[in-house]
């Protein structure tokens, strides 16, 4: 099985009695890769060897972030040059083939023999009423396994929160514009703050067995260039959205003292993948650690869509590299109407990784994340529940239609990384600019 090992730190090996003559080497699984600088005459006589940890310099939104959170950022910057990590929403808490949701099983594992490298959850498991179920223990298990945690935000509509009845009233999908009302001075700022207070309390108490805070990539108010959420393009101007994103970071970081978050920005994919389009609603480099985008396309006749995925991936990579950020595909999959209609593409995963690998920029994203495998499905046009899943399983259906084989080929590709393919995520020594 493929295996990628990352450094616990960046080290310098030196030989000198008076002066340090350094050769830098990233220390991974193969320690034979370490190099030692040629010694000068004086150091040859002294023949004194010492190893000095050299912190990796990073620039992140929260200068007071925990060591583990800083390490996660540094790890992703380096890992993306080796392989693209696979992510799955609710990898261990929802599934079609699992018998428990306690964090020990997953459809991904049952399909390929390993868990996702990136585990996705949402504020729907954090903010009351936690409609997707509390996931603290499952997050802890994923972290103990060496996995990476990301959390998206489906905050209820602050204006209509108390009016819930027939869906989507009061939910994220309630299109009542609420961005201005959620900002300081707005009538419903206290309601929005209430959501953030619960999230902050969750984050500040999310600790491993040694009492250390668990790092989280927090994805704020995603898909803002669409208009299906209350913070969308038709519900707010670019400047209004930017202010709410910035306020969210500031409130969590400065008011609530959350020091284990990296902050992600993820609009929809752009038909015209240009920096100008991406920057229109971008809150600014001072507020973003991770540059991503969300994209869903058809199950059939999808060559044009795959080309657009590559174009958008290449764009975020170039932008991230210019800014010292981490580029990702924060959500990707076959679009929901096709999934719910039972449509599939048994070459989908191979097309995806093939297209990304072929582009010199797109191949350098840190991870991509697929959406959840809902065991109950979702209501279809006739009111009956229909399939709703993005990771093929080891069920007869996916064996027969070829989608399981497709996922397994994706898994075996050296350009992809799953949970066991990553290590040293949280032990890199860093310094913050």
pLDDT in the model for residue 8: 45
Euclidean distance between CA atoms 388 and 150, whole angstroms? 21
Radius of gyration of the chain (CA): 22
Contact between 265 and 220 (Cβ < 8 Å): yes
Local confidence pLDDT in tens for the 433 residues of the chain = 554 444 444 433 333 332 332 333 333 343 333 333 334 444 433 443 344 569 999 999 999 999 999 999 999 999 999 999 999 999 999 999 999 999 999 999 999 999 999 999 999 999 999 999 999 999 999 999 999 999 999 999 999 999 999 999 999 999 999 999 999 999 999 999 999 999 999 999 999 999 999 999 999 999 999 999 999 999 999 999 999 999 999 999 999 999 999 999 999 999 999 999 999 999 999 999 999 999 999 999 999 999 999 999 999 999 999 999 999 999 999 999 999 999 999 999 999 999 999 999 999 999 999 999 999 999 887 888 999 999 999 999 999 999 999 999 999 999 999 999 999 999 999 999 9
List phi, psi (to 5°) of 24.
Answer: -85, 140
pLDDT in the model for residue 341: 93
C-alpha dist (Å) from residue 58 to 66, 70, 72, 222:
13, 8, 11, 25
Euclidean distance between CA atoms 125 and 276, whole angstroms? 35
Contact between 158 and 181 (Cβ < 8 Å): yes
SS3 sequence of 118-131: EEEEEHHHCCCCCC
> Which residues on adjacent β-strands are paired with residue 379?
385
Which tokens go with 260? 């284990």
> Which residues on adjacent β-strands are paired with residue 294?
268, 331
Taking only the tens place, the pLDDT of each residue in 294-341 is 999 999 999 999 999 999 999 999 999 999 999 999 999 999 999 999
Residues serving a catalytic function are 223, 331
Taking only the tens place, the pLDDT of each residue in 4-19 is 444 444 433 333 332 3
């Amino acid at each position: 099985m493929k295996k990628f090992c990352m450094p616990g730190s960046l080290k310098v090996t030196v030989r000198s009695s008076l002066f340090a003559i350094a050769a830098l080497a990233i220390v991974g699984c193969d320690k034979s890769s370490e190099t030692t600088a040629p010694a000068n005459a004086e150091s040859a006589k002294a023949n004194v060897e010492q190893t000095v940890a050299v912190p990796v310099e990073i620039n992140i939104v929260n200068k007071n972030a925990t060591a583990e959170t800083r390490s996660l950022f540094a790890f992703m910057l380096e890992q993306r040059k080796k392989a693209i990590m696979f992510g799955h929403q609710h990898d261990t808490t929802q599934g079609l083939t699992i018998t428990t949701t306690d964090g020990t099983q997953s459809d991904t594992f049952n399909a390929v023999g390993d868990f996702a490298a990136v585990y996705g959850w949402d504020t729907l498991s954090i903010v009351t009423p936690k409609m997707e179920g509390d996931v603290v223990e499952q997050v802890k298990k994923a972290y103990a396994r060496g996995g990476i945690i990301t959390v998206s935000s489906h905050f209820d509509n602050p204006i209509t929160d108390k009016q819930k009845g027939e869906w989507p009233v009061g939910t994220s999908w309630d299109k009542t514009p609420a961005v201005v009302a959620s900002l300081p001075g707005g009538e419903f700022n206290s309601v929005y703050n209430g959501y953030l207070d619960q999230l902050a309390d969750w984050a500040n108490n999310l600790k491993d067995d040694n009492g250390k805070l668990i790092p989280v990539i927090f994805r704020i108010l995603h898909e803002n260039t669409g208009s299906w959420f209350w913070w969308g393009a038709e519900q707010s101007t670019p400047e209004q959205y930017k202010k709410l994103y910035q306020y969210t970071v500031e409130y969590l970081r400065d008011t609530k003292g959350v020091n284990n978050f990296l902050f992600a920005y993820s609009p929809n994919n752009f038909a015209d993948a240009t920096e100008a389009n991406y920057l229109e609603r971008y809150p600014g480099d001072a507020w973003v650690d991770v540059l991503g985008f969300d994209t869903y396309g058809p199950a059939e006749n999808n060559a044009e869509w795959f080309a657009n995925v590559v174009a958008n991936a290449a764009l975020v990579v170039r932008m991230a590299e210019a800014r010292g950020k981490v580029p990702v595909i924060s959500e990707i999959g076959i679009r929901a109407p096709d999934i719910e209609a039972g449509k599939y593409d048994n070459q989908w995963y191979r097309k995806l990784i093939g297209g990304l690998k072929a582009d010199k920029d797109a191949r350098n994203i840190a991870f991509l994340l697929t959406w959840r495998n809902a065991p109950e499905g979702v209501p279809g046009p006739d009111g009956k529940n229909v399939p709703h899943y993005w990771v093929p399983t080891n069920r007869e259906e996916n064996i027969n239609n070829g989608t399981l084989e497709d996922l397994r080929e994706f898994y075996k590709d050296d350009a992809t990384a799953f949970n066991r393919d990553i290590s040293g995520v949280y032990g890199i020594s860093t310094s913050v600019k």
